[in-house]
Structure 1
Amino acid sequence: MAVSAAALRLFPSATRFVVLCGPGNNGGDGYVAAAALAESGASLAVFAPGDVGKLKGDAARARATYAGEVHAIETYEPRTGDVVIDALFGAGLVRDLPKAVQEAISRVDDRCLPVIAVDLPSGIDGRSGAVRGASFTATHTVTFMAAKPGHLLLPGRTHCGSLEVFDIGIPDRLVRSRAGDLRINTPAVWQQHARGLDPATHKFKRGHLVVFSGPQTSTGAARLSAMAGLNAGAGLVTLASPPEALAANAAHLTAVMLKEIGKAGDLAEWLKDRRLGAFVLGPGFGVGKKAREFALMLCGRALVLDADAVTAFMERRTELFDRIAAEGGQVVMTPHEGEFARLFPEIAADTALSKIEKALAAAKLSHAVILYKGSDTVVAAPSGRAVVNANAPPWLATAGSGDVLTGIIGAHLAQGMPAFEAAAAAVWRHGEAGMRAGRGTTAETLVENIAPLPE
C-alpha cells in the first residue's frame, strides 16, 4: 500500500504503471501494490518472470489479491509515459539476476523511464550494496522499517534515488535486535559524549591537541589538520615541527602554537607533559622509520594515525597492532581504499565481504577504531560496533579534505571523547561542514565551516 501511494503521489500523470513482480515476497508486495493501483483506477500492466502458478506462501496469497492478467516479463516493451514499479527482487538477493530480468532492465534504461523500487532496486545486494549482474537505477525507493546496508553502501546508494522508509508495525526492539551494533551515523550515536562547555573551563580542560608536521616541503597537510582541530573545539593546538620546517610553519601560524620536535628523543621528553591530550600523526609526515618510531611511542595515548603513518606500517603491521593491544590507547586509523588495501590486503581482497564487514575485520585485527573513508565512510570498533555515514556531499572529494577530517577527530579525542564516538562524530561534522561550505569548497573553506557539536 505504501508503494502504491508513493506511485500515485510522485507520478500522478503517469500514462501507465508497469509493475514487475518477482518470485518471492518482494513480488508479493508488487501484486498488492498492483491491486491497490487497479482499485484507484490507474492504467496498469503486470509482468513477471517464470510461472506465477508456482508461487508459495505469502507471495501466493499476495498474488491472489490481484485479479488482473500477469504477462511474461520477456514480453514487456516499455512505452513513453510508463512508470515502472520494480518488485522483482529485494534486499535478500545474493546471486546475479536472471538473464530475462537483466534484459528487461536494459530496455527500461534505454527509454530512461522512472522507476520506483520496492525495498531495494532489483540487482542490489542488500548486505553489501554490490550490483548483481545488473540493476535498476530507481528514481525513488520505498523500504520498510529501516534502511538496509545496500541503501547506504556504494554502488547501491547511487541506484536508490530518494529513499522512503515506511513503518509497517514491526516493534523497534526487534529491528534493533536484528541490526545488532550497526547504525546509520547520526548525533544519536555519539551525542552523549559531546559535552557542553563549562563556564569555568580553561584551554587545557578543553583539550590540548598535537599535530606532527612533515618536512619543509610538506607542511600544508599538518597545518590543515591543526586548524581543523582548533575550529572543531580543541582548547589549544600545537604543531610539532622538525627543525628544517620551523620557519615555513611559523610564517603561516597564528592561533596554533609551534614546537620543535625533531627526533624520537625530543618526543619522549615532551610526552612527560601529561596535559598533551591527543595526537595526530601522518598528514604530510613522510613514510619511513621516523613515522613508525613516533607511532609506536604514542600507542598508549589518544592517537589518530592517518595517511603516511598508516602506509609506514605496510610491511610491519604486526608490530603496530601488538603495541596498540599492549598499550590500550584510544587509537583511530583513517585509511582510504588504497591505504586499506596496503595495510589489510587479505581483508581488502575478500570479495565476499561488504565494506562494513571489512572495516569490522580490520578493527578486530588491529585493535584500533577503523575509519574506512569514502563517500560511504564506515567507522568500526574492535568491539563490533559500526556506523555508516550518510551526510557527506560529493564535493568533499577535494585535496586536503581528509586532513581536515583527521584534525576534527583529534579535537574530539583531546576533549575526552572515546575513540569510536570521536571518529563517528568527526565524520558527521565533516559532512555537515561540506554542506555548509557548498559545491565550491576547498579544504581551507571546509575548516571555516566546521559547526559546533550539537548538544
Structure 2
Amino acid sequence: MARGHCNWLLTPSAMGEVDAAAAASGIDSYGLMEKAGQAVAAAVLRLFPGAERFVVLCGPGNNGGDGYVAARALHETGAPVALFHFGDPATLKGDAATARSRCPIEGAPLDTCRPAPGDVIVDAIFGAGLARAVPPAVADIVQRVDEAGLPVVAVDLPSGIDGRTGVVMGAAFRARHTVTFMTRKPGHLLLPGRMHCGSVETFDIGIPFRLVEAKGERLFVNGPEAWDAAMPQTDAAAHKFRRGHLTVFSGGAAATGAARLAAAAGLRAGAGVVTVASPKEAVAANAAHLTAVMLKAVETESDLADYLHDERRSVFVLGPGFGVGAKARAFVTALAAAGRRLVLDADGITAFAEDPQALFSAFADSVPRLVLTPHEGEFARLFPDLAADPALSKVDRARQAAARANAAVIYKGADSVIAAPDGRALINGNAPPSLATAGSGDVLAGIVGGLLAQGVPAFEAAAAGVWLHGDAAQRAGAGLTAETLINHIDRWH
C-alpha cells in the first residue's frame, strides 16, 4: 500500500514496542537517545541561532532523557542553557538517568521556571505517550510560555497532546517546530494536535525500518504513495465509455446546484461520461447550466429501473441537494440491488439516520462498492455509538464504521480520515482552511465518483479523491469557491 517510509504512522504504543524490539536486537538504546537529543539540539540551533537563552524542560521519562541530551549538546556549543525538571530527577531510571548524569547543567524544579523575552523553549516533558491530563505544574508553565509568546521546539510531540488521538489533555504547548523520530504519530495530524505541532521534522535515529514495518498498524499519511498504482492509465485506445459513466442525482428545481458541482468535478476527475439524473421539475433548471454533462429525467423508482437497464451506467453519486426521505432510501436500495457503485453524501447519509442497518445490509454481500462521506454530524447519525465513545480516536471510529458498513468511509474534516473495511486507514494532511466553503463537499463527492467510474477501487478512489480535493484547493488559493475549485482538479500534474 505504501512505497517508501515518509508516510508511515505509528501510535505511541506501537512505537514503544519498536523501541523495545530495537533494544532486544542488540541496538544500544542509549545510543538512540543520544541521536534523538542531538537531533533536537541541531534543529533548535538551526531555527533559532539568535536566541538569548535556551530553556530546556525535562520530564520524568525517556522524553526527558532526550531533553537532557539536547541540553548538554546546546551547552557544549557555548549557548546559554537553563534546565528545569518536572518531578524528582533522582528517580530517573535507565537511559534517562544516564542522560541526566552526563548533563553538566544543574537543573531546577519546573515550577520555578520564569520564561523571559529572548528565550527559546525546548519541551521535553512528556512527548507522544501522554494519556492523562497534564498535572497543574505543567499546565502552569504552558500558560506562562503561551502568555510570553515564546517559541517552542517540542521533542516528539508537544507535551499535553495525546499522540494517539490528537486530543489536548487539559493544556498543551503550541510548538513552532516539532522533532519526532522514525515516524510521525497520529497526533501530529489529527486535530487539534496538528495545530499545536508547528512544522514537523521526522528524524531517523537508526532503528532498522524492518522493526517499524513489523509493528505497522496499516495507518499512513494520505498521499499518492497509497493509491497512485490504482489510478487508471489512458492510452490511444481509450474512449469515453471506457473511462466510465458517472451519474449524479439532482434535487428539486430549487436545489440543483450541488448536483451540478459534483457532476462537473466527476468529469474533471476523468470520468468519460457524466449524466445528471434530474426530477422532471428540475430538468429546465439543469438544462440551462449543463454543457458537457448530459441530462436525463429520472423521477420515480420506475424511471430509475429503466435507467439501470444500461449496464454502462455503473457509478452514482446520491445526496448533494437531493433531499432526505423515502425516495433517497428507495433509490439507494435499488442501486445496491442492481450491483452499482455508489458515493453516498449529505442528504443521502441523513436519509438513513433512523435505520442505518438498512443501508449497511444493502451493501453487505459484495466487494466494497459504497463510499460514505460523512462530516462529524452525519457520522453521528449513522454511527451514534462510535461518535459518542470518548475512548476512540477519529481513526478508530472511521475503521469501525468502515467495517460495519462494508464501505470506504471518508470521515471528513480538516483532518479527514479514510478507512477501508479491512482495517487500512489514512489521515489526510493537505486540506487548507479555504475548503471550508459552501459546495466543497459536493466537489469531493464528484471527484470520488469520477475515479470510481474509471474502475478505481472504493478505498483508493476515496483516498485519492480527498487528496486531489486538497491539492486543488492549495493551487486555487485562499479566495476559492466551489466553482473555481473544480478548475484546479488535476491528477496528472
TM-score category, normalised to shorter length: over 0.9
2:207 and 2:291 map into 1 onto residues whose CA distance is 55
Give the structure 2 partner of residue 98 of structure 1: 135
Query: Which runs of no fewer than 5 residues in structure 1 stay unpaired?
Result: none
Give the structure 1 partner of residue 202 of structure 2: 165
The structural deviation recorded for 1:195 is 2.4
Give the structure 2 partner of residue 147 of structure 1: 184
Mapped pair 1:224 → 2:268: no
Mapped pair 1:416 → 2:427: no
1:237-289 alpha-carbon deviations (Å, 9 max, x no partner): 00000111000000000000000100111111211211113110000000000
Mapped pair 1:195 → 2:232: yes
Conserved 8 A contact 1:277-1:413? no
Give the structure 2 partner of residue 86 of structure 1: 123
1:49 aligned to 86, 90, 101, which one?
A: 86
1:320 and 1:173 map into 2 onto residues whose CA distance is 41
Please list, as runs of the form range in 1=range in 2, the aligned pairs for 1:10-21 lying within 5 A after superposition. 10-21=47-58
One-letter amino acid of the structure 2 residue matched with residue 246 of structure 1: V
2:473 aligned to 430, 434, 450, which one?
A: 434
One-letter amino acid of the structure 1 residue matched with residue 346 of structure 2: A
SS in 1 for 2:170: coil
Give the structure 2 partner of residue 331 of structure 1: 370
1:177 and 1:259 map into 2 onto residues whose CA distance is 52
The structural deviation recorded for 1:177 is 2.8
1:453 and 1:406 map into 2 onto residues whose CA distance is 19
Mapped pair 1:276 → 2:313: yes
Please list, as runs of the form range in 1=range in 2, the aligned pairs for 1:186-335 lying within 5 A after superposition. 186-299=223-336, 300-335=339-374
1:391 aligned to 426, 430, 436, which one?
A: 430
2:314 and 2:217 map into 1 onto residues whose CA distance is 32
Give the structure 1 partner of residue 10 of structure 2: none
One-letter amino acid of the structure 2 residue matched with residue 367 of structure 1: N
Mapped pair 1:39 → 2:44: no
Conserved 8 A contact 2:232-2:455? no
Give the structure 2 partner of residue 4 of structure 1: 41
1:203 and 1:138 map into 2 onto residues whose CA distance is 50
Mapped pair 1:345 → 2:384: yes
TM norm structure 2: 0.91
Query: Which runs of no fewer than 5 residues in structure 2 stay unpaired?
Result: 1-37
One-letter amino acid of the structure 1 residue matched with residue 150 of structure 2: L
One-letter amino acid of the structure 1 residue matched with residue 233 of structure 2: G
Please list, as runs of the form range in 1=range in 2, the aligned pairs for 1:353-392 lying within 5 A after superposition. 353-392=392-431
The structural deviation recorded for 1:357 is 0.4
The structural deviation recorded for 1:328 is 4.3
1:268 and 1:174 map into 2 onto residues whose CA distance is 53
One-letter amino acid of the structure 2 residue matched with residue 334 of structure 1: T
SS in 1 for 2:363: helix
- Aligned residues between the structures: 454
1:385-438 alpha-carbon deviations (Å, 9 max, x no partner): 000001111101100000000000000100000000000000000001001100
1:162-212 alpha-carbon deviations (Å, 9 max, x no partner): 111111112222223323211100101001111221111100001110000
2:200 and 2:113 map into 1 onto residues whose CA distance is 26
The structural deviation recorded for 1:327 is 4.8
SS in 1 for 2:365: helix
The structural deviation recorded for 1:452 is 2.7
Point out 4+ residue stretches in structure 1 off by more than 4 angstroms. Answer: none
The structural deviation recorded for 1:67 is 1.5
1:133 and 1:221 map into 2 onto residues whose CA distance is 40
One-letter amino acid of the structure 1 residue matched with residue 435 of structure 2: L
2:147 and 2:305 map into 1 onto residues whose CA distance is 65
1:193 and 1:335 map into 2 onto residues whose CA distance is 24
2:492 and 2:398 map into 1 onto residues whose CA distance is 25
Conserved 8 A contact 2:368-2:406? no
Conserved 8 A contact 1:437-1:449? yes
Change beyond 3 A, Cα 1:328–1:452: closer
Query: Bigger shift: 171-180 or 378-387?
Result: 171-180
1:226 and 1:47 map into 2 onto residues whose CA distance is 59
Give the structure 2 partner of residue 25 of structure 1: 62
1:446 aligned to 465, 472, 485, which one?
A: 485
The structural deviation recorded for 1:342 is 1.1
2:151 aligned to 93, 114, 139, which one?
A: 114
**Identical counterparts, % of pairs:** 62
Conserved 8 A contact 2:219-2:426? yes
1:5-64 alpha-carbon deviations (Å, 9 max, x no partner): 011110001000000000000000000000100101000000011110000111111111
1:452 and 1:50 map into 2 onto residues whose CA distance is 52
1:342-400 alpha-carbon deviations (Å, 9 max, x no partner): 11111000011100001011111111111000000000011000000011111011000
Conserved 8 A contact 1:277-1:414? yes
1:416 and 1:12 map into 2 onto residues whose CA distance is 53
C-alpha RMSD of matched pairs (Å): 0.9
Conserved 8 A contact 1:429-1:453? no
One-letter amino acid of the structure 2 residue matched with residue 423 of structure 1: A
Conserved 8 A contact 1:194-1:453? no
1:275-326 alpha-carbon deviations (Å, 9 max, x no partner): 1131100000000000000111112321100000000000111111111103
One-letter amino acid of the structure 2 residue matched with residue 127 of structure 1: R
SS in 1 for 2:128: coil
The structural deviation recorded for 1:65 is 1.8
One-letter amino acid of the structure 2 residue matched with residue 362 of structure 1: A
Give the structure 1 partner of residue 20 of structure 2: none
1:452 and 1:327 map into 2 onto residues whose CA distance is 28
Conserved 8 A contact 2:368-2:408? no
1:400 and 1:24 map into 2 onto residues whose CA distance is 48
